[in-house]
Chains A and B, each alone.
Chain A
């Protein structure tokens, strides 16, 4: 059975170049640790890059992307006290003033600002190979240049209700963010995952080919302990108390899936 929900992404891109826009997942969680990892293609690896499945910490994230057409790599070890790393997360960029806004999760979401050039020099690393990755950074509120989001697949994770939750977001080529665009939430079934749903459901292709393009988010349930592929949602399976092989671990532990989804959906809040 497929039940599809959707909402509209009210994320107006920067109408003025000096605007800073913070999206809800980060903005909403400024005073709670909320980390994000993203990959160029979620198909390449169904795990989260450099991250353990432990819900209490991230060990490491390495992000690579283009900043003003400049390939950069971020080395990010937010919670490893004894390892060198950079403890900040980019959350905004004011092009007119050349200022970067950032947050330090270790300081409870403290927001600071720093000159763009110094930020690059101090915190970002130019890729030494020919691999050019792209990151639109939208879910962390970073909009380079005119604010157009970069098409592609991005995998994000964040801490919610005691679990590390993740999802895949697909931004189709050519989508016009100058006005609000539709957002489809495409949920997988029991013992499936976001990457499989993206491959199987048809919404990935449709988002690219439809006359009205839309963003697709593929949320992901939580796995059962010891069964990393048995993802489920907090919903009782049809077989009732005798789950048989279709045990919904998320239903057993009553995960806050509604809160998780609300954290995914951007609010389009802006400081403009």
Chain B
């Protein structure tokens, strides 16, 4: 519940504050958001699995974001930034799908 409230609070804060993303961060924010979504789904699945652990959740959340941004940054330096960010999005998308499938199996038994 607190997580849902936190999500709502974050959305509202983003709508109200309307911050502008610094130019240096613009390529990394979308990837970081996708990575955070992946961590969120992973955490939800772990909670349904009953093995949720806040420390692991925090670590995976932060490391996912950092690693994803790092990969994109590295790709930018190597000149393959767009391709590498596509790869990251694909991988994270696959993981989100598999986690969502597991969650669905827990909730709907199908």
Are A and B co-members of a single complex?
Answer: no
